[in-house]
Copies of this chain bind each other. A is one copy, B any other.
């Protein structure tokens, strides 16, 4: 058999962690999409050959699943801590839309992947994910319905306002640039105000 094993010089060997793989995957999935990204690109980004990735992951699918899981959990957690203790629908909507907008300015890659490549998840995880997103959607819609009932919001169809607010925030991930003129928190603040306007908030609209 052949015995020649040329072996790269010791200093050229890279070493890599699971988190590094996940982070590189996140960047590339966000740019090219799940199906548009090859494992070889992830490996190249880390200075490693493709098969070496398998020391840090089980499969390409699992990378996507990890990204999606981690992100949707974060969204729900954000929502809980943002609305916990608040009873006024106006304050609840202000706070919920603020953290949601902020997350999409500060976690752009995650947002893009989750919103674009959900369909590439294998079952049953795709359905699980959709359920968790629906949970957030219904929670937001409930705030609006409560506000309408309390007379502080004015919308014909709460579901429409809820969709509009959510997707408006999600889209921040698509245009926001870290080196742009506005920092994330100021963008989030303005978007939070947009959210109250969409809901037809009759109070406090100048804040």
Contact = CB atoms under 8 A, between A and B. Distances in A.
A190 B120 contact: no
B182 A157 contact: yes
Interface stretch (A45-53, A77-85, A88-96, A165-173): A165-173
A191 interface: yes
Interface residues of A, number: 33
A156 interface: yes
Contacts of A168: 164, 167-168, 171, 198
B33 A120 contact: yes
A198 B195 CA distance: 8
Contacts of A198: 168, 194, 197-198
Contact of A187 (B34, B120, B160, B167): B160
Nearest to A155: B190
A198 B175 CA distance: 18
B190 A160 contact: yes
A119 B36 contact: yes
Contacts of A33: 33, 35, 116-117, 119-120
A157 B31 CA distance: 27
Given A156-B190, A167-B171, A194-B198, 9 more contacts: A31-B119, A116-B116, A161-B194, A164-B191, A167-B167, A167-B170, A168-B198, A170-B171, A198-B198
26 contacts: A32-B119, A32-B120, A33-B33, A33-B35, A33-B119, A35-B36, A36-B119, A156-B190, A157-B182, A157-B190, A160-B182, A160-B190, A160-B191, A161-B194, A163-B171, A163-B172, A163-B175, A164-B168, A164-B191, A167-B168, A167-B174, A171-B171, A194-B198, A197-B198, A197-B200, A198-B198
